[in-house]
Structure 1
Amino acid sequence: MKRVKILSLLAFLFGLFAVSSSSALPTLLEPANSDACVETSTMFKWNSLDSAVRYVLLLSSDMDFPTESPETFVDTLNTQSDTTLASEILLDGGILKTNSFYYWKVVAIGGNGQRFTSDIFSFHTRLSEIVLISPVNDVCCLERHLQFKVETEYASLDSFRLLITADTAMTDIIIDTLIANPLISSGIINITVDLPFNAQTYYWAAYQNASDCWSIFNIENQHNFCTKAGAPDLLTPEDASQGTPLFENGMPFEVTLNWSPVEGALYYTGYYSETQTFGASTEFGTTDTSFTFTLPDEYNKTYFWKVFAKTDPVLLVEDVLDSCSSEMSEIFMFKTPIEPVLLNNPTDSSTCVPMITNVGWDTVAVAANYHLQVATSSDFADTTIVLDNANIGGVTATIAFPKGITSYWWRVRVKNTDNIGLWSNARMVTTTAETPGAILPLNGSTGNPLQTTFSWDAGKTGSSYRLLLSETDDFKELLVDTNLTLNTFTFVLPNYDTKFYWKVMATYGVCPGAWSSTFNFKTYIAPPTLKTPVKDTTMVEPVLVIFEWTGAPGTVSYDYDIANDSLFQDIHTFERNKNSTWLRLDNLEENSSYWWRVRGENAQGTSEWSEVWHFTTGIIRPNAPILISPKLDYTKVRVDTTLFTWEPSERADEYKIVVSESSDFANLIIDDTTTVTLYTFSGFDNATTYFWKVGAINAQGMSNYSNVWSFKTLPTIPTDTVNLLEPADESINLLTGRQTFKWETIPNIDSYEIWLSENADFSTLLIQNNKVWINQYVNQIEKLKGLTTYYWKVRGVNDAGNSPWSETWSFTTEDPASVSFTDYFDTHIVPSPVRSQANVTFTLNEASAVTFEILDLNGNIVLTQNFTQMQAGSNNIKIDASAMASGTYFFRLESMGKTEFGKFVVNK
């Protein structure tokens, strides 16, 4: 019993669980909640519930799902209990409206009648399909520049798409354009496009977009149309064709218009007119792709033309069936030619026409420029045209014919930028002999040889030539005036470094040509003139050989060759661009032959080589000797026997010695040769200066002289005795200061020697001076004692010896204590007594030298001051007595030949 209850409880719980599970709500799947672009034919889906036996789908434009709402849709799905219940349903057949907002939910109904309602979802259906208006379906013969028109039920759109394809499946896209915020006027959208192809069937559709939702488009609603055939391509005359060559043959002006065929064309219609607007035009029709007609006989006339094609009948707009006109071609323009030119001169068939000839023609009123052609054939074939000038502004031109004795044809036409005229009638002329052109010497050339060959372009076989040559460009004075049958002439010109002028004229038969241009050239400078070594000189010393030459005026530099052979194949020495007219060589071989030559150069060229000169070398001369004795400036050379010596010179055979009393060796005392390096001479004068030099000699000649040395011979010993003058013998009271000794002069002495002593035998000397150059001596160094007797004597001195002594004289100096004071200069010494420093003041009548001395009581000088110049008037001398002992002192002031004595005291 208890077991039955438990089983019943379990069954109840299981049933309770089953009921609870089947009570879950349906979950909506599609369309998703808030879906913004749902098709009007769409599948609604939700998940199935195991407990559901049927479902009810509710659809409404109202979120509250009122039952009276016309959009509410209820569908009940009945299935067998053992069959899986469907959880989706397709709504079609116009239930959903385009561009509409809907709410939907699903109610699941269980077997016991229970209802389980899903959440509510919302969605918005796709925009309605746009309405195609034009081009209408199946229409043809439309322009490629085409306007498309559609109709929309919306006042505004986010974007608009136009799709044009070449196939009905709309996959071969030709144009796919998108326009944001398209302009909508009364529900109409207009868009113009340029289609790429003529005679093409197109398919088109349109779409509209709002809120990121594009409208649907039923491909069955697409339209198709076709464009008209393309315009014929105009071929000839090309656009802007000018009168020539279009009407090369002149009147009548027959023209053929040509164009390309148009596929399917039945015939063509064209127009030509004198105006581009075709206001007054001529129409023509043809089944061919060309049309020929004749224009009026009017020069320089402008015409315009165009063509279109007619094709098979097609359905046109408004359901009219008719042939289709292609697009109109471009408009081409052409002109009839400008009238031909009338030629003036030269006349037809003229002969002997100058190589450079002026031609002329009549003016054409409309001409801006003229076109001149010259040819060697009357048909003016391209290969025969020698002159083609299409830019001549006037009615004359100059023709330079390329060849003489040749027939040429010439013609002229107007050639403006916008039109070309007919050619004039051609005229033929025959040229005269052509003007020769110089070949040699080159015009303006320099450095040409005296023997010059003239050559020029040869004229026609059988031509003769006249050549003029002059040193002036006016040819008033001619060097050459000759007639020739050849185009070459050789002439030896008269001058170097000279400009010459020449010209030539050719003549053929009776046709003389024009003179050529005047050509000029210049001969090279004259070759140098050799100077040394003179031609065929022999015994040229091979050391330091001087080569000299003279250059012609205008020569800038020189080239020289010195060779071991006369053909200059074995060159010993050479140099180029040398700036001087000489050179010195020291590397020539002894006893050898040499040949040499020189040529000059300047900016204009190089001269000929000079004459070749030959010379032969000898041997090398000795070196100059080096003197030994008598030594340079030696002054004690004996006159009884004088010995000259020098060092031997290499390669010397003998020596030449010359001696003179003058440095220029004007008068020679010795001019002798010797084979040894010494020479003895007796007989020079005493006390005389001589100059001497020596040269070394061999077969080549004498070397340079040695350096010039001088010497002086000894004088004779002086024999005269000096006579003393001052101070007089046995003079007394002489000053102890500066003492002057004087004596008479004697001959043959270099100086005097004076002795002074306190002893009569001169055992001790106060003065011994043998360098007294004049006949007096001033004692300024040794100061004499007062009240003392001195002895003195003098003799003459030279390099040979001394003269006898003079007599000995004596004198006695003054006693300082007995000196009498004078007052010549108003001399004062302050302060008095003097302690250390003192000032000496005195007055001079005139500017003069001054000597101031201070002596002690013994007559000894303790201070001396000498002044070479002191001023006239008051003067002042500072003295320093700091070294003097206290006591009485004397002063002596000498000036202007006067001596003032005084006394002062030093007290420390």
Structure 2
Amino acid sequence: MRRTFILLSGALMAALALAACEGTAPRGGGEGGPMPYCAPGDLQIPVMFSPADGANIEIAGLTFDWVYNPTGCLPEEFEIQVSQTTTFDSYSGATLDVGQDTWSPAVGLLPATVYYWRMRATVTSGPGPWSPTWSFYTGPVCEAAALVAPETLFPHGFMFVYDAPFFQWTYPDGGCVAEGYHLQVASEPEFATLVVDQRQTNPATLWTPAVDYENCGVFYWRVAAIQGDSDGPYSATETFSVNVGASCTQQCTEDQLVAPIPIMPPHHANVGTAPTEGLVPGLLEWYYPMPCLPEGFGVHLSMERDFSDTSLFGGVHPVTAFGGNWTPAVPLEPATQYWWEVFAGVGTTFGPSSPVRSFFTGPECASPDEAVLPTLLSPEDGAIVDTLSPWLRYTPGEGGCVPDGYAIYLDTDPDFAGEDPYASIYWPGTTFIPDPLEDCTTYHWRVSPIQDEFVLPWSEVWSFSTDVDPDTVCAQGLLLGQAIQDLACRFGPGPGWDIRWYWLQGEQTPVYARDMSGNWLAVQNQDFPDEICWAPRDGVELPRSIDDLRIFNPPAACSGSLAQADCQAAGGMWIQPPGAAAPAPPYCQCP
């Protein structure tokens, strides 16, 4: 067929050339010409034939081939596009003279890659319709034993209201390409009743099966790569629902409670100053991806990332649409970062929460001069934290504005030797989580706003110490206590215990813990640094409250089973019974 067309095209070209020599208008050249140029609406779709749809091709010598069947008029050019996506957001291609019917790309293609191509005819006044999109792939093809599970992209918890579902995934092995795929869609998660069961040697990773899905139904899908008669492992199972015309109005059952999808405001958006000046209806908006209506939605809104502040929590009841919106009952604080999540409920049963989203209130800083020094919030200055990844929290500062970002300084050196910050974040997040830190270490931190690429003056400097293991006591980086008078530091919390060290007025030593009453402190024994002893709280000056100190239990009271050192420390007497051939074992004699 191609050869016949080429011969006919050759004869047509010769005839046109002859006509031109005889003084008539050239091809497409105007009045009197045998074949004028088309209007855009009269352009035909080129007939593509190589590389064929779904073909596995050799990169070397690759050509794209097509034919064009004119119907009384001709195009001026052909436009061809080649892309790794079906949307052709980025592509390579060419614009070719109408006399061509083959093209070789100037840039080589990648191995083990799926490509898509399409083309159309054009004239100066506009293009014609695109051809169907065809796929092809470059080798090598994956061996059956090496197949891995595809990674699903769409749909995931999506409700189709207008269009038929399509399915998209990726193949994670970049060293080879799957020969095809096996797609399954079922009405239950066990895949016992299949709605779609398609197995094709087609490397495309976006399929739209021609299937009528039951309206108001929930469906499950998965996909596996194939090679010959072999199927690889299936992907994770995903869900979607169908609600054509939004006609499904039944109430959700408990097993239909899923996570809502946040819509507005966009993640990390600045909503301006309006919510700080009054109530903005529908500030938070979401949709529910199931073909049923829950009884209500609960909303968590907080200035704390862990939602520990519950003062702004609320909800929506009853539910009359497949989604909802909500606004807090009080104006929000200016220049503040907020976090929010939403969940559905039936009776006293609640479904999973949506992904956590964040937004900022205005005003935004317009220049470096408007930024103020950040205010540090936590960990509090001098705090002891029981994690190696503490959340560093701060705000833009009283009366401030939201800057472009922040520079975080975090160091064991209180002078922050060197000029580079620990991290720079170019968005105005007010919580920073560092990489895991060292245990039993004191860290100093400060924060600087970034505005218009300028790193501005930093906040005050705070410090905290890490102490993760509750069974060990860190000998460094802890709260330092200073004796305000000479103290007897004892084996236990109370005057009846043995004295282990004399703590002289003005001396300092780390404070590890307190007793239950808070009247005695467990401190480091400077005569024996591996030991602790107990000093009275009222004789020690501390830089902060002892409320967050750990509570240590006192040592065991005197008993006959104590070892010699503990016996004597507890006020007992160590007795070595006399004996000749077989003396009795020693013991602790308590008072």
With normalisation by structure 2, the TM-score equals 0.22
Of Structure 1 and Structure 2, the greater strand share is in 1
Larger radius of gyration: 1
Larger RCO, structure (CA 8 Å, separation 6 or more): 2
Of Structure 1 and Structure 2, the greater helix share is in 2
